[in-house]
Amino acid sequence: MSPLPAPATGGEGHWTDLNQDSIVLGLLLEYADDYVSGSVLCDKLDVPRAELLKRIDSLRTRGYGIQASGGRGYKLVEVPDRLVESVIAPLLSTNELGRRIHGYAELESTNEEAHRLAEAGAEHGEVVIAETQTKGRGRRGRSWISPPGKALTLSVILRPSLPSARAPEMNIVAAVAACEAAQELGAQGARIKWPNDIECRGLKLAGLLSEMRGDMDHIYHLILGIGFNLTLTAHDFPEGVRGTSLLLESGERTPRPVACARVLEHLEEWLALHETEGFGPVRDRWRELSSTLGRRVRVIGVPPPPGSGTSDTPQLLEGEAVDLAEDGALVVRGPGVDLVRVVAADVEHCAVL
Ligand code: BTN
């Protein structure tokens, strides 16, 4: 495990400078696609022009692209593509999520490290992020592979005040948040395949893996892992994986810290709504964003009917996905059978004829 180096320290003046840098950065971000005039920046910072120029130079040295135009002022055109707290934090408008970010060059799995930190007392909202994973985990025991520098691989430590039985709702909350973030970042066609795959045109854009530690009654902590394909192109996907990326969907290269910030913001928003209003609004939004409802689906791994004994062979069911139940289960109408609730299984969309 190799943590990314912390920024070099250089005494109190250094921190004041960094602080001023982030105020300038905050103002430039606020104006987003617009120029902000030098005099507005000087007024807000309460510094003379020479000091402002120093801060602009300092930000440029730290990798920020700032365009200057005589008469119009300054505009932020590029942020450094580094997944570290000092770059992500100024881009974030959350209150709780990502207020502390543990950045690593390499981890076996961000979910694994997040569990370790949570067990050592990490707080709700702390984030673990890695440039690359050597044993990334996917759903149902699969592995998750993403080439370094081309994806987001992060885990969020959550401590929801929910009984354990309601943990599956968090998968749905996360799916809604990730799908909205994907759309905001330019993947207009992003939809949710049950329970929480984010897909575009039937190709996987992002995957979510939530892992709970708790007892029968309480969730001690829940780790929400997100793997989001950002700049992968066709040859980056392992054989047999039908994937896509934000670059392929939007035609644009979104800096990873920006993508990270948008995902955390949407997640915080939906977690807050879930906490105050319950699962209803989340379920409604999931239905709107779903690519599964109304589709013919093949479900692999449906639990066998009681009394039929266990089997190693996956149980199969084909039918129409008709609804998302109040607890996050998928409701499927099979041929000549009653409605079946699918809680933990793989779902494939059957081809539309
Ligand atoms: C899936 O199978 O679709 C879920 C994939 C989840 C991958 C992410 S990457 C960050 C986090 N750490 C892991 O080991 N897995 C999740």
pLDDT in tens, 48-71: 999 999 999 999 998 899 999 988
* Centroid of ligand 1 to alpha carbon of 323 (angstroms): 26
Q: Does residue 139's CB lie within 6 angstroms of at least one atom of ligand 1?
A: yes
Q: Which ranges of the chain would DSSP assign to H, the alpha helix?
A: 12-30, 38-45, 49-61, 85-88, 110-119, 168-184, 246-250, 256-277, 280-289
Contact 114, 222 (CB under 8 A): no
Q: Does residue 99's CB lie within 6 angstroms of at least one atom of ligand 1?
A: no
* Rounded mean pLDDT, 173-179: 98
Hunting for tokens 């430590």 — which residue is that? 157
Hunting for tokens 């607890």 — which residue is that? 327
Helices 168-184, 256-277: axis angle to 10 degrees equals 140
List the residue whose alpha carbon is closest to atom 15 of ligand 1.
Answer: 137
The minimum-distance atom of ligand 1 relative to the CA of 130 is 10
pTM, entire model: 0.88
**What CA–CA distances, in Å, run from 123 to 93, 160, 252, 315?**
18, 11, 34, 40
The pLDDT of residue 312 is 55
Pocket test for ligand 1, best of 131, 150, 226 (most atoms within 8 A of CB): 226
Residues 6+ apart with CB under 8 A from 257: 79, 80, 81, 82, 83, 87, 88, 91
Pocket test for ligand 1, best of 83, 106, 107, 111 (most atoms within 8 A of CB): 111
Hunting for tokens 């992500």 — which residue is that? 88
By C-alpha distance, which of 184, 173, 186, 171 is closest to 231? 186
Q: Does residue 319's CB lie within 6 angstroms of at least one atom of ligand 1?
A: no
pLDDT band at 310 (very low <50, low <70, confident <90, very high): low
- As a whole number, the mean pLDDT across the chain is 90
